[in-house]
Amino acid sequence: VQLQASGGGLVQPGGSLRLSCAASGFTLGYYTMSWFRQAPGKEREWVSCRRGSDGTTYIADSVKGRFTMSRDNAKNTVYLQMNSLKPEDTAVYYCAAASRRHIILSRLRDGTEYDYWGQGTQVTVSS
């Protein structure tokens, strides 16, 4: 069982990146999937999640209107499309999968309900 995050890199402010999180060993369509990020010297921050039960998607206020989470069941992959990137978006981005249903949003946001975590992919926004 593995989550493999990819797609990070160096981008100029205002640019875009699309992160991917590919699952192996399980079918992520049944899981609630989330993206988190952690900047140097800061606590981990929840970014977005998508419920496996009904596809309901939530997004953090700090990235609302710029980031979009999606899922491709055929590829067993979730994505995080990041547009209008800012220097403060610089962080290591992680994906995570939770199998339990009906987890309240606050518990999804605090990172305690997840069964699997990806290894992280570095996003650097700088001119």
pLDDT at position 118: 95
Contact indicator for 52, 30 with CB cutoff of 8 Å: yes
Token pair recorded at residue 117: 């975590």
pLDDT at position 101: 85
Low-confidence ranges of the chain (pLDDT < 70): none
pLDDT at position 98: 95
Chain position carrying tokens 């992520």: 28
pLDDT at position 9: 97
- Output the CA angle 66-69-81, nearest 5 degrees: 50
Q: Which residues contact 103 (CB under 8 A, 6 or more apart)?
A: 32, 113
Token pair recorded at residue 70: 């999606």
Report the DSSP beta bridge partners of residue 50. Answer: 33, 57
